[in-house]
Homo-oligomer: A and B are copies of this chain.
Amino acid sequence: MIKNILITSAGRRVSLVKIFQDTIKKFYKNGKIFTTDMNPKLSSACQVSDGYIKVPRVTDEKYLDIVKNFCKQNDISVIVPTIDTELHILAQVKDDFFKEDIFIAVSSISICETFYLKDLTEKFFIDNGFDTPKGIDDIRHCSYPIFAKLNNSSCSVGAQVVYTLNAAEDLARDRNYIFQEYIQGDEFTVDVFIDRYGSVISIVPRQRLEVRAGEVSKARTVKNQSILQAVKELCKVLDGVYGCITIQLFQTGNRIVFIEINPRFGGGYPLSFHAGANFAEYLIKDYLGEKLVYNEDWQDNILMLRYDAEVIVDGNSI
């Protein structure tokens, strides 16, 4: 049976917490969703969750013990990580936690490490014959504009179009920048659910219509067969992936250009849920040993319009 679930680094992921809160009740009526954050008193998701614990930075030596003890004390069956920096750390202790009956819903160490860095990601796509923006080694001999991004960034921090050699040289002083061919086209984030057998259960392409501060603010589901097919091909070579992963790509003319893979729930996942792809349910069923089957039982052309909602807390109470 499944009891409670822990969502780590919950931050502002209120919708994800609510989806899990609603879904767990179908399987265990007293099921609770707990959360962690470095600053849970200022985390909207922690405030709406059924309980939370303040944790140090994931790289802190005490981090894993604190999480494990919290799991034991609160009957946590499954841990769902949500940010890039913790994925490989949690992947390393997946077996160790499992001995204590705590299942970490995370891909293999190798998957987490590969897709944490933009240069390893690029190499992965090339080695496996998938289209990806061409890397630019020599910024003095290339045609502009080009695209620059930080090797280890998330949420598009630092990512930008670069129009001149001067601007590229400025950025290149930060050795963490990498440069690539600049791709223009329709941008998609694809939510994929992969079960314990490595089988693809669901693929939901979400077209980005508007982005705000690196997070999608308007998007729609698109049952685009070329994308579904290309993602299925990609998943065949993604050895060691598990659970919800999000794949970013551009479609431009006949090209499907893969940009990156985040082996975790993406911020825009609530759209796939509302379209009918309940990955929380897939995750719980897979945990319970139920056999899942690939399906496209989600609605095409569902629009998500995001807005700033607020959680209000009495500052004296926290």
A108 interface contact, C-beta 8 A: no
Residues of chain A from 274 to 318 with CB closer than 8 A to chain B in the complex: 274, 299, 301-316, 318
Q: Give the total of A residues in contact with B, Cβ under 8 Å.
A: 39
* Chain B min CB distance to A48 (Å): 9
Do A12 and B303 have beta carbons less than 8 Å apart?
A: no
A267 interface contact, C-beta 8 A: yes
Chain B, residue nearest A315 (CB): B301
Do B315 and A305 have beta carbons less than 8 Å apart?
A: no
A24 interface contact, C-beta 8 A: no
Do A302 and B309 have beta carbons less than 8 Å apart?
A: no
Please name 17 pairs of A and B residues whose Cβ atoms are closer than 8 Å in the assembled complex, sorted by A: A12-B308, A14-B307, A42-B209, A42-B218, A44-B307, A45-B307, A47-B305, A217-B308, A299-B314, A301-B315, A303-B313, A303-B314, A303-B315, A303-B318, A306-B309, A307-B310, A308-B309
A308 in complex: contacting residue of B47, B308, B313, CB < 8 Å: B308
Report the copy number of this chain in the oligomer. 2
Do B311 and A307 have beta carbons less than 8 Å apart?
A: yes
> Known contacts being A213-B213, A310-B15, is A305 close to B44, with CB within 8 Å?
yes
Chain B, residue nearest A274 (CB): B312
Do A312 and B271 have beta carbons less than 8 Å apart?
A: yes
A43 interface contact, C-beta 8 A: yes
0/1 per residue, A38-55, Cβ < 8 Å to B?
000011110100000000
